[in-house]
Amino acid sequence: MSLNKKGRFLLILLLMIASNSFAQILTHEDSISAGLNVKGNRATAISGYGEAYYEQDFRNKLATARLRRTILFIGHRFNNHITFFSEMEMEDAVVSGGSKGEISMEQCFVKFDLVPGMYINAGLFTPRMGVMNENHLPNTFYGNERPVLETMVIPSTWRELGVSLYGTFPQIPGLNYSIGIFNGLQASGFTLDNGIAGGRQEGFKASARNKAIVGSLLYYAGPFRFQASGYAGGSNGADDKISSYAGLSTGFMGTPVYVGDVNVQYRNKGWFGKAQITQISIPDADRINAAFANNCPGRISGALGEIGYDFLNKKYNGEKQLHAFGRYEFINMNGKMPETGIENPYFTQQHFFAGLSYLPVRGVVIKADYQYIINGSFNQSLIINPPPYQLPFYQNRSFFKLGMAYSF
């Protein structure tokens, strides 16, 4: 049965509308949104994690509840060799005037698989430094907060813009390596209480005149995991004129910073153990203090030891877990204080932790932990706002935290 002219016109019009609609979906811009391009090896994934806890401060007789962070992960596999990864992080729930919340792009990079066992990451990502910087899902570590060593000394999560090569040594099974180049730090942000954390640039108009080299060796041997990481980079990206006026060296390794970390982990039959040592050296701390008056130490160091046991390991083989753990940490932010700095014994600290972690499923964990802190007295000459305008600085403090976290 043939169509009349009016019918043929309507059919052609519908086909044109349909073809235009499909053409719009398949343009390069739209095809990467919402995972519409799933032909062949392409796929888009969405996941994330989050953590919240209640905290009781026994010394100050305070209690707080905190949504610590929520993370949204979006990844896309273009083919078997090229993959995109991103992590968007919100800290402390509210980001508005006067709040301390934060929204930031934690990672945003492309992974290029070269050959089996070798790949390149390029973009904004976390270099392999310490344990938590790369592996910080809340259901994989003990306690409601990350270890003090990996927040005060190693400023996890530490991400910068760069390119890094990862690979294995076929001749030595279990041995892995990484080597990369990143933008450097900014010495103007170094302080005694926060170490090098304030010098991170995190992809925001990062000064890239100064660079950093980060390398690591990672070795698996039975139930043991050994890792050594090193960082060497400049912390002054200013031009020669400004640097000369400030008395700071500039260029690729201008005003250098060196970081070294060694750690070993053991996991077998429900038992877990970890030992870690980290040291940061800032040779030009005296000049940094003279230029910025920010009380930067010449050396920062820390160490920790941790042990835990999963009481449900034999029955559930990891599907359900109940861990008891203990951890000791020593932190010294006052090492090798230059003449232009002021030592503060308050930031030479010992931390003792004990707690439980219950995982009803692998992706959800309920945590309870007790923390006891021993530190030196606060240097009175550094107190700007004395009590009651801020909380007093006690030498011994204790906290209890009860929280929940998830990852999927």
Q: Where are the domains of the chain?
A: 38-407
> Measuring CA to CA, which residue among 109, 55, 58 is closest to residue 86?
109
Q: pLDDT per residue over 15-41, tens digit each? A: 443 334 333 333 334 333 344 444 556
> Which of 121-125, 241-245, 341-345 is modeled with the greatest confidence?
121-125
Q: pLDDT per residue over 204-249, tens digit each? A: 988 888 999 999 999 999 999 999 999 999 999 888 888 888 889 9
Q: What's the distance, CA 256 to chain centroid?
A: 22
Of all residues in the chain, what percent carry a pLDDT higher than 70?
88
pLDDT value at position 161? 97
Q: What type of residue is 56? A: Q
Mean pLDDT of all residues belonging to the chain: 88
Q: Is the pLDDT of residue 203 over 50?
A: yes
Residue 66: pLDDT band (50, 70, 90) is very high
Residue 1: pLDDT band (50, 70, 90) is very low
Mean pLDDT of 279-283: 97
Tell me the CATH number for domain 38-407.
Answer: 2.40.160.10
Instruction: Return the C-alpha torsion angle 257, 258, 259, 262, nearest 10.
Output: 180
Q: Is the peptide bond prior to 278 cis by the omega test (within 30 degrees of 0)?
A: no
Tokens of 50: 């989050």
pLDDT value at position 8? 47
Report yes or no: 316 and 363 within 8 Å, Cβ to Cβ. no
Q: pLDDT per residue over 376-407, tens digit each? A: 888 877 777 666 666 778 889 999 999 999 99
